[in-house]
Amino acid sequence: MQRLYETNVEDSFKEDAVDADGNPMTEHDQLDALIGATIKVEGPSGTTYGKVTRRAMNDQGHKIGKPHKNPLLDTREYDVELTDGTHQRYQANVIAENIFAQVDDDGRETLVLEEICGHRTDGNAIPLSRGTTLNKSGEPRKKITTAGWHIKVRWTDGSTDELPLSVVKESNPIEVSNV
């Protein structure tokens, strides 16, 4: 089992691999888990995304910082290309904190509702004309159902989804009540 792992690591290293600027990548660069990661960056103009492209270099062409098992002592710096085409430099611990903040305990990305921006029916919603039933004593009673209704939501990352009303109502009852 150990030999298979070593073989896979060696086979995955490509001597002719280059980074985004065409500079040769070392084996360590290719195995660096932060390179290629997408991070969410909060700035004065709002939220944007960036991709970690490579380790940052100083004026002499040496990589900035040293890795450490303890993330608080890891001083490596990385170049991040933002979606607007600009580049920023971030330390490894800031990037790692950003990545961990975007996922739950099971590694799934979590999104936060920014706003409800619309709704529609798929034709299966109960119209007002059929919105009541009679109870056992013959009194009219409202039918309470979310069937057939969909809510369009915008997430904090700027993406939108259309979800069943029942899902949005359960996870964001206050926002739904204000629509």
pLDDT tens sequence across 30-73: 457 788 888 877 777 777 778 899 999 999 999 999 888 887 78
Q: Pick from 5, 6, 35, 3: which is nearest to 18 by CA? A: 35
How far, in Å, are 70, 82, 84, 150 from residue 48 at the CA level? 28, 7, 8, 28
Q: Which of left, alpha, beta for 65 (phi over 0: left; psi -120 to 50: alpha)?
A: left
**What is the mean pLDDT of the segment spanning 102-111?**
64
Q: In terms of pLDDT, which residue wins out, 108 or 117?
A: 117
1 pLDDT exceeds 60? no
Q: Are 131 and 143 in contact (CB under 8 A)?
A: yes
19-35 burial, b at 16+ Cβ within 10 Å, e below that, comes to eeeeeebeeebeebebb
Confidence of residue 164 (pLDDT cuts 50, 70, 90): confident
Q: Pick from 157, 149, 141: which is nearest to 119 by CA? A: 149
